[in-house]
Structure 1
């Protein structure tokens, strides 16, 4: 009994003792079971603490000397919802730093020295909605960043060194009407205080964000840009940047007939500004008589196996390779080109030609022997009449029935020939 009372009395003491050094921990009424906040703000902290209590829901590492965030730095904090690493000296973050943070909702890295960010690491935080990268040294945004930001509703990229926004991010923030999946999602973006180039992308962001019913709200509309790097910046609203150009698509061929079992390549070229991206869709099957023997496929469907390249700004081409054609490959293919200025497409009809069965040629009749017989079948041959004495042309020609000079076999089995 006394031991049990002593153990219960010691619970808050043990909880306080579990708090990392140079940090403060906030506990609830039930001690360790209600631990919620851990805050570490001492300049003497140079590494991410490893003994943070497992039931922490909010961790704040602020104004420390931490320079790197190692791999699986918060692996034991599966209940963490808020992670603040603000105003430290962080220069690098391992791509697997956020593994096992399945419940994380908010990640703030403001006021550090980051020149790049591991966007692929966000796949370990499926519930993340807030990402703060204000006041770092980011100079570029990779195109693949858009793959890991579909659920982000608050993104602060202000006060960095960004110059260009990739078209993939613009497609994510301002989807075309035919590209939306699910309800419209509102986003808050911080893009101000960056040395943007006065180009089509940043101009379109500004105009679309100010349109009625826009899905994007800018934290600050005082966005500046410059004609080239190093030049003085002016408000984007005071310049007329390069205009976006709707893509134009040109297929290599609009109709393709290819034999069954052969290989075929479909190609299309697109131009536009910003440089358009290309996708392929099969929209319908070809109404071929022999296709009824093939399994029915669900159409339209996206085609993932294709190649595309951009030899220069504003130009992109793409090919799709179909090997060992079957009747199921026949149909209509659409090459779609899109950028933030619009979408265009080209139609290519592919017909798979089967092998037709040829009729048998008639067998050649062997040359008849010039022997007479009274038991022969009639056969026609042309007999020419000799020329006359005073004429250069034949007197007449006529078709005459000639006897079949082959042997006749009677039912009795005897082979009878004329012996005359």
Structure 2
């Protein structure tokens, strides 16, 4: 059926034998997608040309009678092959025109009744021949005879992105010498890469077994004068093609040009070009090659000679230069709780080629970390420092010890500042809360006293004559809570007699409470 569903309905009848859902927005098959109402008699399931990208590992649970599953034209990149544990009778599995990239060795272990498998028009690059040779269909009886009643399996594997190098040798041998029970729908499988083999048929190939990289060089130890140009080379033989990389101590600062030349199908000539070598370039250069089989490397020692240095077999960090004059002033440019940035001003004879050494460590420690900084850089940052700790940082010319004037001593900030600020804020909040509670309590007492005085005031009204009714109403309006003054009122009413003095004192107390 054609539908715009984005998910499967939950009320699929259990007596359906065939379901066909195509050209919908369905993207996922959830757990027990077709058996939510119990046992299912489903035998044929067509889910072609949807947008399915994910299959739950239990999405086919309960479909014990399923014999045909077609899911071509979806967007599957992988299949949880254990999902077929719940479909032991499945014979036809159509997965063409998806985006499958791999086929695990145990893919067919849970498909004992399979007779047709279509994986064409996917993105498979490498498949092991063990996928088919270790499947239940290839098992034979003793003596090499096939099991009686065993059915043939038709395979459609064409139009994939086959990478025809040594890693595909086993599968190519399987395809070119295929026999029962497997039958290829299209035996003309072609290579997509590497470029030298693109477009070739499998039966035209003669692939070799894979080989761990073998790295060699004729330049084991080289000595050159300062300013000379040099190209270091290594020869790598490997199958499949390896990744070749040069490593040296100043790679993060001085990145030299690397190049590779394909000498033959399995041999690469790698070169590292170093222009106008400096003393800092002296050291060990390593050529490393790695592929899926393993890793190998070879080292080349480069020694640099100048007119004022003697021959040395060690890296430049151990060679001292005594004729370089420089003036360096060091300062702390920026400091945080756990880091510092040191900056320096240097006056040298050749600023474009002057390297600096930054010595950094705890003040009470004899061992200091050593970092090299290239020409044109006049700052260096260090992080992850301990709080409230005394450190020393010195800047000197490379290969020369630092003098006392080139050092700065500093103490990192305490890491408790923020905590102290939080505690102060908590204290302020507590004090404010106490003040608010005290003010509310005082108001409550004030209102209580006012009510008692007001009852006495009303009782006094009953003893007055009716001729003073108009004066009593004016006194009543002036005696309300809203008319109380901050200080100096004469009372809540102007009655004469013994109670007037008592009520006046009470009104003054109430006024004072309101002021507070």
- Bigger proportion of residues as helix: 2
Report the TM-score, using the length of structure 1 for normalisation. 0.45
Report the TM-score, using the length of structure 2 for normalisation. 0.37
In our comparison, the structure showing a higher alpha carbon Rg is 2
- Bigger proportion of residues as strand: 1
Q: Which has the higher contact order (CA 8 A, sep 6+)?
A: 1
